[in-house]
Amino acid sequence: MGILTDIVVIGSGIGGLSCAALLARYGFEVTLCESHSIPGGAAHAFERNGFKFDSGPSLYSGLSYSPSANPLRQVLDAIGEELPCATYDTWGCRLPEANFDTAVGAEQFCQVLTKLRGSDAAIEWRKFQQVMEPFMSAVLAVPPLALRFDLGAAIVTSRFAPSLLRHAVNVVKLTGPFSSIMDGAIKDPFTRNWLDLLCFLLSGLPANGTSAAEVAFMFADWYRPGVVLDYPIGGSGAVVNAMVRGLERYGGQLMLGAHVEQILVEGSRTVGVRLRGGKEIRARRAVVSNASVWDTLKLLPEEALPKQFRAKRQATPECDSFMHLHLGIDAAGISPNLACHYVVVNNWEAGVAAPQNVVVVSIPSVLDSGLAPAGKHVIHVYTPGNEPYALWQGMERQSQEYQRHKQVRAEVMWQALEGVIPDIRERTEVTLVGTPLTHERFLRRHRGSYGPAIRAGAGLFPGPGTPIPGLLCCGDSTFPGIGLPAVAASGAIAANTLAPVSKHLAMLEDIGCLLE
C-alpha cells in the first residue's frame, strides 16, 4: 500500500533538508526520501575507528551568530535550531610565492600583500575594498530567504523595495561575472590570482565565470569588522542532525533507504514518486527534487518533458569531480599551532581550475577534539572540483587498475599534506581515498560532478520551476548555484514558492529579516 503526503522531497542534501524542514514549518505534511542509510548528501559525516570524518564541506562562516546573512543560518533560525560552533579567524596558505597564514578581515591581508608584493599592492587592495562596498550592500538588500518564484514574489519583495531601489544599479551588475568588477580595479598579478582562487573555491570557476553576487556575498561576510570563521561542533554531521531535528519537530518525515526510481507523472502533472521495490508515495501538492539536473532528468518519463527543454537541461555544462583523502593520525609531538585549514596552489600559470592544481587540507580536530580519539587528529584533504571524471570512467571499483589509479591520483594530496605535517605517512592509522566514482556511487552524483558549471554572464542558474505542474527543483543545479549557503537558499526558495505568502512573511518576521 502506498503513502499519501502533501509534498515529497527527493534527496536529503542540505538543499533538500532546507526545503523539507521549511515546508514542515509552513504546515505541510512532508516526506523526505533519502536513498542511503544516513542523511546529508555531500555534507554527511561518517565514522571509522573512532575518527569522525566530514565527507564534504569543511569551511563555514556566518553560522555562529544571528541574525546572519548566511541562508543556512537563516533556515536553522526558522526551524528553531541552535548549532554550537568553534570560531577562528586564521587559515594557512601554501602558494608558489610563499607559505603564510592569513586571516579573514581586510587589514591582515594588507600586511601579507605588503610583505609579498609591496605597499602599492596593499594600497590597491584597500581601494578595491571601497569599490566592493556598494556591491556588498546591494547583495544584502534582499535576504535570500525572502525570495520565491511565483506571483507572491511581488508582495514579499515589495517589503524590501526601498533597499532595492537604493542599490538597483549595482544589483544589475551583480548578475555578471566578478571579473567585470575585478579587471578595472586590480592590476597586481598576485592579487588577481588570489581572487581567482577565492572564486574557484566558491563556485568551481575562476573570476571570469563566477557571479559577482556570489563574491560580493563572500566579501560582505569575510571582510566585515570582527569577522570569524566557524566550525560546527560535531562537524558537518551536526549541521545535518540539526536540520533533521527541525524537520521532525514540525512533523516532517525522513525516510532512509528510500531510493526514488521514478517521478510519477499522470495527466501531465506530477503526482508522487515510486521507490525501489515498487512502493509509491503520492503527493497531494508537489514533488521537489534535490537531485542534480542530470539525475532529475533520469527520474522522469521521456514523454513528460518537452524535448527541447530536456535537451537544454541535459546539455548543462558540469564542473569536474573530487579526490578525497580521509586520514586518522597519531598527533603525538605535532605542533599545537596547526591551522584548521590550509589551501595549497601548485602553479598559478596552469590556472586555478587545472586538474589537481588546488588542494584543500582540513584538520577540524584542531578545533573540535571530539572528532578523534585522545591524542589523535582527523584530516580531510581534497582536490575541490578539479578531478576529471574521464580519467576514471569505465573502471571497475574492485579492480587492481582502480586501486593503482587511486594511489597515483592521491599522491598530490599526500604531498600537499607533507607541507604541513612532514612525517604524515608514518603517523597514519586510518586511510580512505575517495574518487569521482565514489562521488557517483555514494552521492548519486552524475559523473561525480561538483555541480553545474554555469558561467556568469551566460545566464543565471534556473529557478525552482519546471514545465511539469507540481514538480519543483532545488539544490546546486538551481538558483543561486553551488556551495553550502547557495543550496540552503535554493531549498528555502522552493519551499517559499509552495507556501502561502502570509506564512512566508511571518517566517521572515520571526527570524528578523523584516524590519518595519
Predicted local confidence at residue 1, as pLDDT: 55
- Report the predicted TM-score, pTM, of the whole model to 2 decimal places: 0.95
Chain-centre distance for alpha carbon 337: 28
Q: Which residues contact 430 (CB under 8 A, 6 or more apart)?
A: 48, 49, 51, 326, 327, 328
Q: Using CA atoms, how far apart are residues 513 and 506, in angstroms rounded to an integer?
A: 10
Q: Are 454 and 476 in contact (CB under 8 A)?
A: no
Q: What is the mean pLDDT, run by run of 10 residues, along the chain of 516 residues?
A: 91 97 98 96 94 89 90 96 94 94 83 94 94 90 93 94 84 88 95 95 91 90 83 96 97 97 95 96 98 96 94 94 97 92 96 96 96 97 95 95 96 97 97 95 91 84 95 96 93 98 96 73
Q: Where in the chain is the domain with CATH 3.50.50.60?
A: 3-44+65-83+232-316+454-510
Q: Using CA atoms, how far apart are residues 201 and 385, in angstroms rounded to an integer?
A: 9
Q: Where in the chain is the domain with CATH 3.30.519?
A: 321-448
Fold annotation for 321-448: Guanine Nucleotide Dissociation Inhibitor; domain 2 (3.30.519)
Which residues face 344 on adjacent strands? Answer: 94, 359
Predicted local confidence at residue 516, as pLDDT: 46
Q: Which residues contact 322 (CB under 8 A, 6 or more apart)?
A: 382, 383, 384, 385, 387, 434, 436, 439, 448, 450
Burial of 516 from C-beta contacts in 10 A (0-12 / 13-18 / 19+): exposed
Q: Are 228 and 103 in contact (CB under 8 A)?
A: no
- Which residue, among 381, 441, 391, 385, has the nearest Cα to 412 in the 3D structure? 381
Q: Long-range contacts for 245-249 (Cβ within 8 Å, ≥24 apart)?
A: 245/81, 246/21, 246/24, 246/25, 246/76, 246/79, 246/80, 246/81, 247/17, 247/20, 247/21, 247/24, 247/30, 247/32, 247/79, 249/24, 249/79, 249/80
Predicted local confidence at residue 326, as pLDDT: 98
Predicted local confidence at residue 515, as pLDDT: 53
Predicted local confidence at residue 254, as pLDDT: 98
User: Does the structural domain 3-44+65-83+232-316+454-510 have CATH classification 3.50.50.60?
Assistant: yes
- Which residue, among 213, 215, 461, 140, has the nearest Cα to 319 in the 3D structure? 461
* Distance set, CA 96 to CA 195, 346, 384 (Å): 15, 6, 18
Region of 267 (left: φ > 0; alpha: ψ -120 to 50; beta: rest) is: left
Strand pairing category for 30-33 and 229-232: unpaired
**Helix, strand, coil share of the chain (percent; to 5):** 40, 20, 40
Q: Are 495 and 468 in contact (CB under 8 A)?
A: no
Please give the angle made by the CA atoms of 203, 209 and 215, to the nearest 5 degrees: 55
Q: Long-range contacts for 458-466 (Cβ within 8 Å, ≥24 apart)?
A: 460/175, 460/211, 462/293, 462/313, 463/149, 463/493, 464/149, 464/288, 464/490, 464/493, 464/494, 464/497, 465/149, 465/497, 466/305
Grid coordinates standing for 10? 527527493
Region of 199 (left: φ > 0; alpha: ψ -120 to 50; beta: rest) is: alpha
Neighbours of 129 (CB within 10 A): 16
Q: Using CA atoms, how far apart are residues 360 and 382, in angstroms rounded to an integer?
A: 5
Q: Using CA atoms, how far apart are residues 297 and 299, in angstroms rounded to an integer?
A: 5
